[in-house]
A = this chain, B = another copy of it.
């Protein structure tokens, strides 16, 4: 792992280089995705079936063969070993409880003239959850995407998950059952995103698509954005640990691994005010890595994009963290609340030695879909609020129309919009009472 020090004169440039990540979209991928989306929009099911045969090696006679209903999901749930079913249930209950607290509520008030102002909250009618398939099957991702939609009161949750060569994952389907998914299409890639965005003869059009996917899925989501809502387009996962030396070095090393094991471009950074502690963690890494089944990926990630940063003190550590705006921030320190209050930009803040990031990934309650690539500067974790929306409410009283009309008239004339002004002025004729 690289070692940086804030005392180095070129620390700032070194940090920029460490965080740099090329998010540029590949033009060839973009063109391929544009063609697939266009084709699905034009030919519907027929196009989806063809791409599924070609990309997933799954030759289905019709969309019915690629559709799972509530009964299929319940059956998958029932087939699970007890300890897995119970773990899923525990996680779902905790995630649901946390996300209940995020629900937006409608509100309104009257001003002095009796004019009503407010905000009406509604849930989305129908959403699509994209779940990656094949080797990397993540039931936790099903819970984290579908449960907030369910808590929000979304009318219908549709899931798509590719099943290359027909291989289905029971835990994924069981998670869908728990999270209120009513229908699953075993399709994936850009064709699945396009089917959800435009609708086909079989796949109903949704209002928003969330969930992670590969480069084709990401490009397709960018393309259909506007026709439907999307969640963020995620970059590689990141963890930043700030440690004061009070948490065992082995624990911190394992937390860095748990980020690095995702893939070779994941980023794991440790910040501490003590070179000795950094060395301790480095030694723990060297000792523990050999037991890790995914050690090659971990090693590549730590070498590629990992770093240890020596700082003067914890205040400086927080300042560096705010510049990095990490997806996951662990405060492995005493009095973590005191330091959390200084953090302005982070997707999730894990406080104290017992709060491993992996507890948050699965079951603490908060969402594990978090802003990556410094986007915690301006965005938030996926939440219930992402499946609700607001409509402004205005009811101007006859008295209010007299006063507001004057203001609107002046400003509308200032902008050269005469009809705007006249519409306001017409309501100022006192003798017309509605």
- Chain A interface residues (CB < 8 Å from chain B): 23, 83-84, 87-88, 90-91, 94, 98, 101-102, 107, 109, 111, 115-117, 119-120, 122, 124-125, 136-140, 171, 207-208, 226-229, 233, 246-248, 250-251, 254-255, 257-258, 260-262, 292-294, 298, 336-337, 340, 343-367, 370, 373, 375-381, 383, 389-398, 400-401, 404-408, 410-412, 414-424, 426-427, 432, 434
Contact = CB atoms under 8 A, between A and B. Distances in A.
B426 A251 contact: yes
Nearest to A356: B423
Given A392-B349, A410-B83, A375 B426 contact: no
A378 B348 contact: no
Contact of A376 (B257, B343, B389): B389
Contacts of A344: 122, 125
Given A23-B226, A358-B424, A366-B392, A91 B351 contact: no
A292 B419 contact: yes
Contacts of A377: 124-125, 207, 229, 389
A161 to B, nearest CB: 14
B411 A88 contact: yes
Nearest to A124: B378
B229 A233 contact: no
Contacts of A102: 119
B352 A407 contact: no
Given A257-B422, A354-B400, 7 more contacts: A83-B410, A139-B415, A349-B391, A350-B395, A356-B427, A358-B420, A359-B401
Contact of A247 (B346, B348, B434): B434
A412 B117 contact: no
A262 to B, nearest CB: 8
Contact of A233 (B140, B207, B226, B340): B226
A412 B355 contact: no
A363 B83 contact: no
B361 A420 contact: yes
A374 to B, nearest CB: 8
8 contacts: A23-B227, A91-B407, A139-B415, A246-B434, A258-B420, A261-B418, A261-B420, A363-B408
A353 B401 CA distance: 10
A169 B138 CA distance: 55
Contact of A394 (B90, B348, B373): B348
A158 to B, nearest CB: 14
A32 to B, nearest CB: 16
Contacts of A415: 136-140
Nearest to A80: B414
A418 B294 contact: yes
A349 B393 contact: yes
A405 B251 CA distance: 13
A408 B362 contact: yes
B407 A362 contact: yes
B414 A359 contact: no
A347 B391 contact: yes
B90 A101 contact: no
